[in-house]
Amino acid sequence: MNAPTTPAPAGPLPLIAVTMGDGAGIGPEVIVPALLAPETLRRCRPVVIGDAERLRQAARLRDIACEIVTVGAPAEAEFGPGRINVIDLGLLPAELPWGELSAVAGDAAYQYVRAAARLALDGEVQGICTAPLNKEALHAGGHVFPGHTELLAHLTGVEEVSMMLATPTVKVIHVTTHIGLIDAVNKIEPGLVERTVRRGHDAMVRAGTPEPVIGVCGINPHAGENGLFGYGEEEEKIVPALEVLREDGIDARGPLPADTAFFLAGRGDYDLIVAMYHDQGHGPVKVLGLEAGVNLTVGLPVIRTSVDHGTAFDIAGTGKADAGSMIEALRQAAEMSPSPAR
């Protein structure tokens, strides 16, 4: 699938902090070609938070000639073809194996995100784009978070955020994410559904869709089919939120059967789908556009985008990783981030 073509920003290009993710995974290998891509340099000014030597190793693996330069702060970075700017935290040993679980790499991945969050809160960057981390390595490194979404919420002092997945054909925002299915159903309530839809609506407006049509999935098969399936969860947990949203002029439709909602979104009936739990949203999105998929965290004080794939330890260190999702993540970070103050 080809990413949509959008014009480059008219004003100063936003500075985007690009966290290197787990250094034992494919993050360094997708960052190097993505930051050198002409379409990236037309839209933003990316600065890597990570390990300069690991990026140099990745460039050699991919047989890419480039200049990887360490800088002390985003404001010190200079941009041009063939140059990658890195705030080098120097946390990885030079001999770190590719494709192996490492507590050292897990801790380093946390430190990259922590540094990027601080730069964003201080106004030194306008957006964050993250390469994948490995949750097991993150935990082994002493940082017990379910993933980037919850970690960034903690680091920025935000109580509630939403995960949005975006591909060229469909976008989906999640009411619940990294919890078990029974816990997810128990957690869903009208206020949470309403806040999630509002965050999705605001993100779509910011990205250039002024009046998004939003399809809201049900919880049960066939969205309960008028009480035939489940115990009235749709009427209790979702319908009251939709009534409030519609009164405020937000075009939120549903509850919809999830098995048809994504097909309808793929053909253009909906701009955004609201999934009630993790697999309800992730499965269809990964089928419809994993290669160009992007993960967004919505509700933070700064836009955050990420590739929609993992660390891929099975191919790390081979130079075979596809950089398409990272290029798309950078495009969306640039598109949704404000221009820096002059």
Phi, psi of 89, deg, nearest 5: -85, -15
CA-based torsion, 3, 79, 23, 114: positive or negative: negative
Cα–Cα distance for residue pair 38/33, rounded to 1 Å: 10
Low-confidence ranges of the chain (pLDDT < 70): 1-11, 289-293, 341-342
Helices H, strands E: what count in the chain?
A: 13, 12
With contact defined as beta carbons under 8 Å apart, do 131 and 86 qualify? no
Give the model's pLDDT for residue 3.
42
Residue type, 284: P
Whether the model clears a pTM of 0.85, i.e. scores above it, the answer is: no
Q: What residues does 6 pair with on adjacent strands?
A: none
5 Cβ contact list (under 8 Å, min separation 6)? none
In terms of Cβ atoms closer than 10 Å to its own Cβ (0-12, 13-18, 19+), residue 181 is middle
pLDDT of residue 1: 35
Strands 127-130 and 171-174: unpaired
Q: Are 255 and 243 in contact (CB under 8 A)?
A: no
Q: Are 299 and 162 in contact (CB under 8 A)?
A: yes
Rounded alpha-carbon distances, angstroms, from residue 338 to 76, 149, 155, 308: 20, 21, 21, 23
Residue 197: what residue type? V
- Which distant-in-sequence residues (6+ apart) come within 8 Å of 94 by Cβ? 53
Closest Cα partner for 193 from 139, 259, 238? 238
Strands, sheet with 272-275, edge to edge from the N-terminal-most edge strand? 67-70, 83-88, 45-50, 15-19, 127-130, 303-307, 294-298, 162-166, 171-174, 272-275, 213-217, 251-256
3-state secondary structure of 13: coil
CA dihedral sign, ordered 337, 305, 301, 87: negative
Q: Give CATH 3.40.718.10 domain extents, the chain.
A: 1-158+301-342, 160-299
Tokens of 46: 């990316």
Per-residue pLDDT, 338: 78
pLDDT number for residue 5: 46
Residue 209's alpha-carbon distances to 14, 23, 29, 246, 313, in angstroms, are: 20, 36, 33, 17, 37
Strand 294-298 vs strand 303-307: parallel, antiparallel, or unpaired? antiparallel
What topology is assigned to 1-158+301-342 in CATH?
Answer: Isopropylmalate Dehydrogenase (3.40.718)
- Strand 83-88 with 251-256, pairing: unpaired
Question: Domain spanning 160-299: which CATH class is it, in words?
Answer: alpha beta
